[in-house]
Amino acid sequence: MEVSNRRIDRGSPQPLNGPQPGLYISRTANSGPGRQGRTAPSPGATVHRLHELAREGRLAEVAAASDCAERQALTSAAYDVAWPIVFSRLTRRVEQRRNHPVCAIGVDHLADDCLDRFHDDVEAVVDDLLAHARRPVHDLEGWIAGRLTAATVDAHRRRRGERGALQRPRLPGWLATELGHDRWLMELAVQMLVWVGVTNTAGTEVWPLESWAQQRAAHTGDWARSDPAAVAREVERVIAAMRRRPEWYESYVERPLGRKQAPVAALPPTEAPLALADPDESVEAEMRRLAADAVGAIGRRLGRGEQTQDVVAEVIRAVFGRTLAAGLNRAPHAAADPLGGVTGALGDPTTLRRIVATVRTIIDEREA
C-alpha cells in the first residue's frame, strides 16, 4: 500500500508537543540531515468523506471496492485522523516507559528506531480501520482509540510471523529443562526469541549484549559480574541448549535472525583533524543555537495561551537536557558542563523567575 509508506516530515517547523497533520516523508528515505521529502497538505474534503462513510457504516465496504486513487485518498485521510491518536494514546506512553523523555515530546522528536515503530503502529491502525469499520461509527476517533491495542498487537505478531519468528515468544518446556530451570537463563532465552523477530540490530553485534547485561544485573542482583562478556557466554549456553532440537532452532532462531540487516563494520580509527577554532567557540555557538530554538518554541506555546512559567521550565529541560554535539570530541571533565548549569538552575525558584522574566522580555522585543 503506497500511501502507508508515508512518514511525518521532521524537517517542517513544528511545535514541541507534536507536528502538524498532513506532513509526510517517504519511509524508505535515508535518515540524516540530507533526507528530502515531498510534503502535501491533508485533503480536508477526504477526511470529511472518511467520517461520513464511517457514520454510514460503509467505510470498509467502500475502501475494499475502491480503485487505486480512491483507496490512496482514503488511506491518506485515515493517516491524518489516526496518527495523533496513536502518538498520544500509545507511543508517548511507550517512550516514557523506555525512559526516552525527548521522544515522548512529539513525533518530530522521535529517534529513528522509535519513529519506525510509530509508523508501524499507525499503519496497523489505518489497515484495521479500513478493514473493520463495517458498522455505523459516530465517534471515529473514539472507535480508533478503542481498537488501538488490538490492532497494533495483531500487526506486531503478523510481522513477526512474516519473518519466521514465533508470534508470541514463549519458552518450551523442553528448553527450560535443558537450561536447568535457571530463572535468568530462561528469561534470556525468551529475550533471544523476541530479538530475532524484530528489525532492530545491535550495531556490529548479533545480540544486544549491553542491554541484556543491565537486565541480568537487575534480574540476578549480581551487578559486579553482569557485563557483556558474561552475557555472551550465557547466550552461547542458551544456543547450545536450543540446538538440541535442530529443526526448531533453524525455524525459530536461525532463519529469522538471518533476515536482520547485516551489521556495518566500524571504520578504522583515524587521527582527529586539527581544530580551526577554540573548542569553547563551538560550544558557545551551539548554546546560542539551542537558546534560539528554545525561545522560538516558547513563543509558539505562549501564543496558544499556555502558562509562561510552566512552558519555560518544560522547554528548557527538553532543549538543554541533552548532550552537546560540540563537546563530544573533548575528553570528559576537560571543561565545565554548560547544560548541567542551565537545567540545574530550574530547581531554584528565584533563578527560575529571573529566567522566565528574561525570556518574556526577549519574546516581547521580538514581537515588537
For residue 217, give the C-alpha cell.
544485573
Kindly state the cell numbers that stand for 11: 524537517
Interatomic CA distance for residues 63 and 4, integer angstroms? 14
Q: What is the pLDDT of residues 20-56, one digit of tens each?
A: 444 443 343 333 333 334 344 345 788 888 999 999 9
- CA gyration radius for the chain? 25
Q: What per-residue confidence (pLDDT) applies to 342?
A: 54
The pLDDT of residue 205: 80
How high is the pLDDT of residue 2? 39
Residue-wise pLDDT for 144-189, tens only, equals 988 888 888 777 777 776 666 776 788 889 999 999 999 999 999 9
Distance between CA atoms of residues 97 and 113, nearest Å: 15
pLDDT of res. 328 = 40
Would you state the pLDDT for residue 232?
92
* Residue 197 near residue 160 (C-beta atoms within 8 A): yes
What is the mean pLDDT, run by run of 10 residues, along the chain of 368 residues?
42 38 39 38 74 91 88 90 91 85 88 81 90 90 88 76 72 92 92 80 79 87 89 93 90 80 54 50 66 77 79 72 45 46 62 76 74
Could you please report the per-residue DSSP string of 50-113? HHHHHHHT-HHHHHHHS-HHHHHHHHHHHHHHHHHHHIIIIIHHHHHHTT-TTTTT-GGG--HH
pTM given for the model: 0.46
